[in-house]
Amino acid sequence: MRRGARRRLMVRRRQAVTIRHVAADAGVSLQTVSRVINKEPNVRPEMTQRVQASIAKLGYVPSIAAQRMAGSRSHLILALNDRERTIADWRSREGADWVDQMLLGGMLTCAKHGYRMIVELVDTHSDHIERELLAAIAALQPDGVILTPPHSENLLITRLLEDHGISFARIGSLRPGGGFALTMDDEGAARLATEHLVALGHARIGFIAGPAEYELSGWRVTGWRSAMAAAGLPIGDLLAEGDFSFASGRRAAAALLDAPLPPTAIIASNDQMSLATLELLRERRLDVPSDVSIVSFDDTPIVRFTHPALTAVVQPIADVTARAVELIIAEQAGRTLPDGPTIVPVGLAVRGSTAPPKAAG
């Protein structure tokens, strides 16, 4: 590139590069550039390549404000997370990486499509939830909303979004209602964890459930029950309930271990309750895994560094959030949408916390 042309390009980059500059450089209309930026159909591949090359050369960054002025979309997606639980975890510095993984999947997918994702914390039990949500919608005018548990099961929230004609995705809820339903196959995950322990030779497998306000808690209990029944194993007093907190996990584990016939393995419905179970077992001088095996849910980073490292259900939080974003954007673009709920499969990371029971060893 000659010195004069290079200088002009540098001056242009210091200035605000607009869609008009891109159109002129690519030799196409403003409408064509707009369709390419918004990933709309019916643009010839060669035109798309020319526009993308000009965007890269000029360093053009699409302006959400300009996109709003050009059309009805805001190119913003709002994700709602539970305020009380999230802030409590942050303040105690015991937070799981749910929010991190949600941001990973959601923000990267939004950016790929020229969107932005904003996270708001809302207390689903608040008397002011309707006012809070309406204020957020009025300020942001999002194209879509991602609801995480327990918001995804809150009829007041889902009906409000429906009334305002806003696309939304419900993660962790299959209840009848509007929006896109997505799950991480919690029932299948609990079944997978139970089958792993059955295959090791365990016959008394305890289960620490999450709070009933979360629909997924029931799915996990159902998966555990079905796997136990398929193996011909009794349930009896092997079910205890927590609320996802460390303290509740400790109480639930104590109830299981104090039973006349304590379990040789325990599945806990999240990492905090699993860590509490591990701590209690150590206090009682019980070895993991030779005395009691442990399987956790979530697979947050901390469970990989315990001793022993915990076998855990790997929840694809980033994947399910990315899929939620894609469904909302597809609906905005008028594309064909899948029928029924979207189920994202889980995995099981087998580590040192599970082994055959002594009797089977």
- Residue 301: its pLDDT value, please? 86
What is the full per-residue pLDDT of the chain (361 aa) written as tens digits? 555 555 555 444 445 778 888 888 888 888 888 778 766 667 888 888 888 888 888 887 765 545 544 455 778 999 988 887 788 778 877 666 788 899 999 999 999 988 999 998 887 766 777 888 888 888 888 999 999 888 888 888 888 898 888 999 999 888 777 899 999 899 999 999 999 999 999 999 999 999 988 888 999 999 999 999 999 999 999 999 999 999 999 999 999 999 999 999 999 999 999 999 999 999 999 999 999 999 999 888 889 999 999 999 998 999 999 999 999 999 988 888 877 889 998 999 999 999 999 864 4
- Residue 7: its pLDDT value, please? 54
The fold for domain 76-184+317-343 equals Rossmann fold (3.40.50)
For the entire predicted model, the pTM comes to 0.74
Show me where the domains of the chain are located.
3-62, 76-184+317-343, 187-315+347-360
d(CA 167, CA 77): 9
Pick the CATH number of 187-315+347-360 from 3.40.50.2300, 3.20.20.30, 3.30.70.330, 3.40.47.10: 3.40.50.2300
CB 316 within 8 A of CB 183: no
- Residue 2: its pLDDT value, please? 57
- Residue 14: its pLDDT value, please? 44
CB 322 within 8 A of CB 165: no
At residue 268, the 3 state secondary structure works out as strand
CB 178 within 8 A of CB 153: no
CATH class of 3-62: mainly alpha
Rounded to whole angstroms, what are the CA distances from 59 to 9, 43, 299, 356? Answer: 10, 22, 40, 59
Do 187-315+347-360 and 76-184+317-343 fall under one CATH topology? yes
Q: To which H or E segment does residue 329 belong? A: helix 317-332
d(CA 286, CA 308): 13
